[in-house]
Chains A and B, each alone.
Chain A
């Protein structure tokens, strides 16, 4: 290994990087934009107040009290719908995903139940909803919880079953704290895989590798300088993502040595995978297409954007064979739950994968035209 050669290669790679604004955007700015956009969306959802359209056909003191009680739950912003319109048509015409209809005779039913102490008398509120609307089922669930609470209060008896919450984490965490480690893992994976494919396939196609094969640079010098370059950029990109997350969302994430370990393993694993892809698919375009085919399922199935527990069981099993899953979970174990033993387990899993693909990638990568 010749450090002067490694250094020369590193300098060329870094200069090529900062002189290409598109690469700088996708490498540094794009992950930050993802954090800003998704962070903003999901910060809103953490404390979401739903819009609820209510049509009161009874127009009595009791029905007004029901509407008021729903509003007091703090989960709904209530808009009144005129009793003169057809509620279903109103929902359709105005794209309202949920309209709650309080029927005529509600107060009479309530009086009957309370006056005659008849527990079989009830009032049925109609929910007119759009099943194609994203999030309407959550809104209906919240409404049911609120109505259950109102029913409980109206009964005049304290509830028998109460709940108490004990978090396994020391602080209260929000979606953004889950999201940022996932984006770090994904951004490092994308850049390492594409970087490796570009360096090895594009330069080969352009004939630069052929020229380099007539110089004293060795395969080890070449690969080492590329890994170092990817690692430096991964660290810079991670720092920028964290700075934005701390300053904009005031995230509560632990920074420790594990983070660097997982970033390094992420780089090694995906640079190695990139070297293998490039050797299998000689053309730059087909290598990039193969990288896409590997990356997209990994992004969505390995818990980058949402927890794998939300997926069906067979997909959860599949997620556990994806290397990015271990980087995601490892980063969360070190940055969110600060569970060092869990971080160690995930580091061991991704470490073994990184070692295997990197050694394999090194063995089949060659600067020669013939030996690949």
Chain B
């Protein structure tokens, strides 16, 4: 009985095939009520397919999906009024204003008491309330999409790539809104390929690659379990430093800005490398020692780098 009240989403052995191609391959996970859960993966990893099955848009090939204790494949009518969805690359009617768009979706949900002004304020679109959808920037459209997703005061909010294609400033504006949702205690299911986004917003993260979940935990725990080392970055280093570092048993990696990164197992290794460089007569402009971030964990686990989609491009994740 306690399980029934604890989880907003329960996915068990979910598989979705398109012909012979498995988009989602036998995955299982749960999302607790009030939790922000992030699905992290490259384009085509199976993120959007999974989220669309949970949202009742797609049907699974096999497996069980339960949303708010209801079978997602059979009870669409009961589920839909209780969830809010921001689809990937949110779009709406071109010549309808911000306020009218929110009003329209509010009527679709038969919400007589929707706080339209409150939603407009929540996503900081008060000044754009009378602007038509076609005249909004990408970031403003996404913020409107979030307001629309909240119009029925949903118990679970699905946000599919909410910041893809946005410039860094717009992305941070959207994050502000999402942090507000988190603070309100909403259950949020987020799909993203931005590590920073997942790290900032999510209580738990599932890393998905080629349709399989390969790791799932809180961002801090994922880093701790999968990256028990440090990274030393030497900035603007002379060419000769690589050879010196290699000589004392470390493997330096160059990046495009004449920086060198070295993976270290112990804190003493920092001193060892700095002394060797000084003795070898090489120089550098600055240094940085830090624990790895989620991106490096992702890299280690999947062997793939996370890259931005071209703006506006949609892909079934």
Chain A residues at the B interface, C-beta cutoff of 8 Å = 2, 4-5, 7-8, 11-12, 15-16, 19-20, 206-208, 210-217, 368-370
Q: Which residue in A16, A210, A212 is a CB contact (below 8 Å) of B96?
A: A16
Chain A nearest CB from B180 CB (Å) reads 21
Known: A216-B80, A216-B81, A369-B57. A211 touches B107 (CB 8 A): no
Q: Which residue in A20, A215, A369 is a CB contact (below 8 Å) of B105?
A: A215
A-B pair count, CB < 8 Å, reads 71
The interface residues of chain A lying within 8 Å CB-to-CB of B55 are 214
10 more CB-based (< 8 A) A-B contacts, given A20-B95, A214-B83, A216-B109: A8-B103, A12-B104, A16-B95, A19-B132, A207-B314, A211-B87, A211-B148, A214-B56, A214-B57, A214-B80
Known: A12-B96, A15-B95, A215-B105. A4 touches B110 (CB 8 A): yes
Chain B nearest CB from A221 CB (Å) reads 9
Residue B305 CB within 8 A of the other chain: no
A116–B107 CA distance with the chains assembled, in angstroms = 98
Residue B250 CB within 8 A of the other chain: no
Residue B92 CB within 8 A of the other chain: yes
Residue B89 CB within 8 A of the other chain: yes
Known: A2-B110, A216-B80, A217-B108. A211 touches B96 (CB 8 A): no
Q: Nearest chain-B residue to A212 (Cβ)? A: B108
A213–B85 CA distance with the chains assembled, in angstroms = 10
Chain B residues touching A, majority SS: loop
Residue B309 CB within 8 A of the other chain: no
The interface residues of chain B lying within 8 Å CB-to-CB of A15 are 95-96, 100
* Interface size class of chain B, counting residues whose CB lies under 8 Å from the partner chain: 20 to 34
Most chain A CB within a 10 A radius of its CB, from B57, B80, B90: B57
A15–B103 CA distance with the chains assembled, in angstroms = 13
0 or 1 for each of B47-75: is its CB under 8 Å from A? (1 = yes): 00000100111110000000000000000
A20–B95 CA distance with the chains assembled, in angstroms = 8
Q: Which residue in A11, A206, A216, A370 is a CB contact (below 8 Å) of B91?
A: A206
Residue B196 CB within 8 A of the other chain: no
Q: Are A210 and B110 within 8 A (Cβ)?
A: no
Chain B nearest CB from A204 CB (Å) reads 11
The interface residues of chain B lying within 8 Å CB-to-CB of A12 are 93, 96, 100, 104
A216–B95 CA distance with the chains assembled, in angstroms = 23
